[in-house]
Amino acid sequence: SAVISQKPSRDICQRGTSLTIQCQVDSQVTMMFWYRQQPGQSLTLIATANQGSEATYESGFVIDKFPISRPNLTFSTLTVSNMSPEDSSIYLCSVEATDSVATEAFFGQGTRLTVV
């Protein structure tokens, strides 16, 4: 399994500001993902972070609101832009290990964001 470190672990931010969350993996991985987990809810995929190209966003998420960088195979950032209280969630970085028969997803500890 991969060891995934996220920074910051939590933050309280003013509405209208932006926060960049970093995700560092201890090994090179092909697939990196960003999820959002709203209070009391399950995990919702925001986007796939593609190395060397633009991220692939899921329905309901756009690049202007959640810009993502993936400069190499061990690092990615997610920015939550122009924040509002509705953006208060846990944001999780994930990597997948996959082969022809199996897929496993591993998660960082998450970033708990509160927007006031």
Partner 1 sequence: GQQLNQSPQSMFIQEGEDVSMNCTSSSIFNTWLWYKQDPGEGPVLLIALYKAGELTSNGRLTAQFGITRKDSFLNISASIPSDVGIYFCAGASSSYDKVIFGPGTSLSVIP
Q: Point out which residues bind partner 1 (CB under 8 A).
A: 1, 4, 6, 31, 33, 41-43, 45, 48, 90, 92, 94, 96, 98, 100-110, 112
77 vs 94, beta carbon nearer partner 1: 94
> Within a 10 A sphere around the Cβ of 12, how many other Cβ atoms?
11
The candidate with the shortest Cα–Cα distance to 80, out of 57, 64, 56, 69, is: 64
Gap between the Cα atoms of 11 and 96, Å rounded: 26
Tell the smallest beta-carbon distance from residue 82 to partner 1 (Å).
25
3 vs 15, beta carbon nearer partner 1: 3
